[in-house]
Amino acid sequence: MRPVLSAPVVLGAGGRLGRVVESLLAALEPATVGATRTEIDITDYFRLREEFERFEPTLVINCAALADVDRCEAEPELAMLVNAEGAGNVARACRESGARLIQISTDCVFAGDGGAPHAEEDLPAPGSRYGMSKWEGEKRALQLCPGALVVRTSWLYGPSEGDFVERTLEIAGREGWVGGVVDQIASPTYTPDLAQALVDLARAGADGVAHFTNTGACTRHQFALRIVAMAGVAGGLTEKPQRWSELGRRAPRPANSMLSSARFTALASRTPRPWEEALAEHLAARARAGPARRGETPRRSSEPPRRPGGGAGRARP
Ligand SMILES: NC(=O)c1ccc[n+]([C@@H]2O[C@H](COP(=O)([O-])OP(=O)(O)OC[C@H]3O[C@@H](n4cnc5c(N)ncnc54)[C@H](OP(=O)(O)O)[C@@H]3O)[C@@H](O)[C@H]2O)c1
């Protein structure tokens, strides 16, 4: 049997998480294939099958999703098409090609009541169309691909444009205030830490459901305050803590979406690092990169070129 990391495929490789996962895997295994939406659309089952026949993946990490929670509320059919049917297509194609599957999911599958971190066995009860479509995607992944692993996570940020860290710093710099809601609590999670966790879980042969976040938790407002303080722009800023209901957003979010990473700790024999430590590393890397590089995921020279013209990933050796 081929080692699980010998031919990995990352779907949704143009996104915030997918780019970082592809970058890490490519550094470990030059045969890694990263496919953006234009290269492999997960709603096209036949395209998936064709590409999997070509690449013969050992592992598929599905980072592709409609992850804009408010857009999912406005376009629920599209949310189901991508997050549920798309995930099901990937699972079927993995089963048929013999690849292991890691399906990425979200804290938004939980209603968000109670004050304790959610364990994997807790029953989901999503309050948004996004959460419903992602939960349906989880079920299809587990039903259609024996041995699949669903990894739930929360509040992602990293070397990407437009995430909460970037928006907070932009508003602080441009308008001189720091916001964030006070009535939602979860764990900010650094995408490079999640990417490493996915590699660890794949190596451990984990299946079923596992949660991974950085440890500790905070409100969005506390997160925003730490971002500006650690980035050294706190002086003279006006604090504007808000309540979720004041923002007028379309989709509800869970009030408490803390996730317990205890199963991950048992499987990987290590504890995720605290969210403040990961944030400090990210802000230091961001400062070193300078303004021109912010928002870019560095691409290593070992990474395979994406083939132009719609063909996904590396050429067959
Ligand atoms: N962001 C968070 O805070 C967060 C929290 C918890 C869990 N998650 C989960 O983490 C995963 C990654 O999220 P992310 O933050 O990286 O989202 P993202 O930046 O929006 O990335 C998702 C990627 O999927 C692609 N995509 C959309 N429809 C597709 C399709 N039909 N076929 C193939 N690719 C498609 C998108 O391409 P286009 O941009 O070209 O449409 C995008 O590149 C998702 O499963 C999400 O539910 C995210």
Sign of CA pseudo-dihedral 212, 217, 221, 224: negative
Contact between 53 and 97 (Cβ < 8 Å): yes
Across 62-73, b (16+ Cβ under 10 Å) vs e yields bbbbbbebebbb
Query: Looking at domain 8-289, what is its CATH homologous superfamily?
Result: NAD(P)-binding Rossmann-like Domain (3.40.50.720)
Residue 306 scores a pLDDT above 50: no
Both tokens assigned to 22: 């592809």
Percentage above 70 pLDDT, the chain: 91
Mean pLDDT of the chain: 92
153 lines ligand 1 (CB under 6 A): yes
pLDDT at site 291: 62
195 lines ligand 1 (CB under 6 A): no
The whole-number average pLDDT for the span 174-195 is: 97
Amino acid identity for residue 307 in this structure: R
Contact between 37 and 78 (Cβ < 8 Å): no
CA of 271 from ligand 1 middle (Å) equals 26
CA of 183 from ligand 1 middle (Å) equals 25
Q: What is the pLDDT of residues 20-58, one digit of tens each?
A: 999 999 999 999 999 999 999 999 999 999 999 999 999
43 lines ligand 1 (CB under 6 A): yes
Reported as a pLDDT band with limits 50, 70 and 90, residue 160 is: confident
The whole-number average pLDDT for the span 264-269 is: 98
pTM value is 0.94
Q: What is the pLDDT of residues 216-245, one digit of tens each?
A: 999 999 999 999 999 998 678 999 999 999
How far the first Cα of the chain sits from its last, in Å, is 19
